[in-house]
Amino acid sequence: MTCIERFGWRQAVEPGIGRIVSAHGDYYRMVCNEAEGAILARKKKSAFRYNKLADRNCSPDTRNCESLSPVTGDFVRFRHNAHGESQITEVLPRFSHFGRRDPTARRQSQTLAVNFDTLFVMMSPNEDFSTARVLRFLDLAADMGEAEAVVAVTKMDLLRDGDGGLLDELRRAVGGAARVLPVSSFDGTGLEEVAGYAQPGRTLAFVGSSGVGKSTLVNRLAGEELQATCEIQEWSGRGRHTTTVRELVMLPSGAMVIDTPGIREIGRVGEFELMQAKGESTHRRRK
Ligand SMILES: Nc1nc2c(ncn2[C@@H]2O[C@H](COP(=O)(O)OP(=O)(O)OP(=O)(O)O)[C@@H](O)[C@H]2O)c(=O)[nH]1
Ligand SMILES: [Mg+2]
């Protein structure tokens, strides 16, 4: 099996196909069959000329917008220029896409993860717990493409006296939209079930508020401290936005995880006002 196939490529293998493992402005770390390990690649400027316009005009469920910038998890076409630089010329069609309305309202949508098989919507049962937020994530996930959504209730070890009906209530609210899975990276609850999704060549995406334990779960599945983690603020139960770059991590099982930075607002277009009305944080005001 070639490198790009190990990284989830399921079509005919050709030269010049890469997968983005992290994005840093116009530079990307990318894996491909032409090199050992991740290499640095750059967007070929002329190929992405219409990028800004396309970004602005794309709705959150856009999967095949050819001139969109690559993001972590994307499969891309690249070639070497005369100086030996790897230049990305095309973003290949995405089989799944999860995005939200951009809270800064500069653009209409913000892509959070692409080309994943399972989307883990993660929430911890502390004072920041919100069934409504889980439902908003699932609403956005409804048209994500060829992928399945799972709701992971993390830090179950903190609920010493049972879950007080929290899981039942959440399951009722979620209905058939997703499986609700209790998980703890500390005492191992649910890890076998999560590992069941982590099959070779499959990609999991972890999304949810800061501090819910996304990176800790990545580390637990990896069996080593690949991702930085940080304690949450005691007074608010919220995290400190420790993960700042979306990263595709290869696990020992041969599955990959896209670890994403924590987010708070998760509205569809038109929901921004609803969140403001409910007194939820929207950070920056829309013009
Ligand atoms: N009790 C308990 N604490 C956990 C568990 N998982 C994570 N934590 C703690 O929660 C805090 C936040 O964990 P992170 O993994 O950094 O959270 P994150 O979701 O990656 O946060 P961002 O990167 O900011 O989005 C850390 O102090 C972890 O040790 C768990 O299963 N049980
Ligand atoms: Mg993190």
The answer to the question of residue 274 being in a domain is: no
For ligand 1, say whether the CB of 215 is within 6 Å of any of its atoms: yes
pLDDT over 90 at 7, yes or no: yes
Which position has the higher pLDDT, 166 or 118?
118
Query: Average pLDDT of the chain?
Result: 84
For ligand 1, say whether the CB of 242 is within 6 Å of any of its atoms: yes
Q: What is the 3-state secondary structure (H, E, C) of 182-218?
A: ECCCCCCCCHHHHHHHCCCCCEEEEEECCCCCHHHHH
Alpha carbon of 273 to those of 210, 224, 281, 285: distances in Å?
22, 42, 11, 10
Q: Is 78:16 a contact under the CB 8 Å cutoff?
A: yes
The CA 43 to ligand 2 mean position distance, Å, reads 27
Determine which residue's CA is closest to atom 32 belonging to ligand 1. 155
The domain total for the chain is: 2
Q: Residue 218 CA: which ligand 1 atom is closest?
A: 15
Query: For the chain, how big is the Rg over CA atoms in Å?
Result: 19
pLDDT (0 to 100) of residue 108: 61
User: If 0-12 CB within 10 Å is exposed, 13-18 middle and 19+ buried, where does residue 249 land?
Assistant: buried
Q: Is 279:273 a contact under the CB 8 Å cutoff?
A: no
CB atoms within 10 A of CB 254: 15
pLDDT (0 to 100) of residue 44: 87
For ligand 1, say whether the CB of 124 is within 6 Å of any of its atoms: no
pLDDT digit string, tens, across residues 93-115: 999 999 886 666 555 677 899 99
The answer to the question of residue 283 being in a domain is: no
Indicate if 116 and 137 belong to the same structural domain: yes
pLDDT digit string, tens, across residues 240-254: 788 888 999 999 999
Which amino acid would we find at residue 278? K
Q: Which of 74, 91, 108 is the last residue of a domain?
A: 91
Which stretch of 64-73, 143-152, 194-203, 276-285 has the lowest confidence by average pLDDT?
276-285
The answer to the question of residue 116 being in a domain is: yes
pLDDT over 80 at 234, yes or no: no
pLDDT (0 to 100) of residue 228: 84
For ligand 1, say whether the CB of 158 is within 6 Å of any of its atoms: yes
CATH number at residue 82: 2.40.50.140
The CA 201 to ligand 2 mean position distance, Å, reads 22
pLDDT (0 to 100) of residue 64: 43
Indicate if 86 and 105 belong to the same structural domain: no
pLDDT digit string, tens, across residues 32-89: 999 999 999 999 888 876 545 455 545 444 444 445 789 999 999 999 888 889 999 9
Per DSSP bridges, beta strands 203-208 and 256-259 are: parallel
The answer to the question of residue 264 being in a domain is: no
pLDDT (0 to 100) of residue 274: 42
Indicate if 74 and 133 belong to the same structural domain: no
Which position has the higher pLDDT, 192 or 62?
192
The answer to the question of residue 267 being in a domain is: no
- Name the residue range of residue 19's domain: 3-91
Determine which residue's CA is closest to atom 29 belonging to ligand 1. 231
pLDDT (0 to 100) of residue 231: 83
Q: What is the 3-state secondary structure (H, E, C) of 66-129?
A: CCCCCCCCCEEEEEECCCCCEEEEEECCCCEEEEECCCCCCCCCEEEEECCCEEEEEECCCCCC
Nearest to 28 by CA among 83, 81, 82, 89: 89
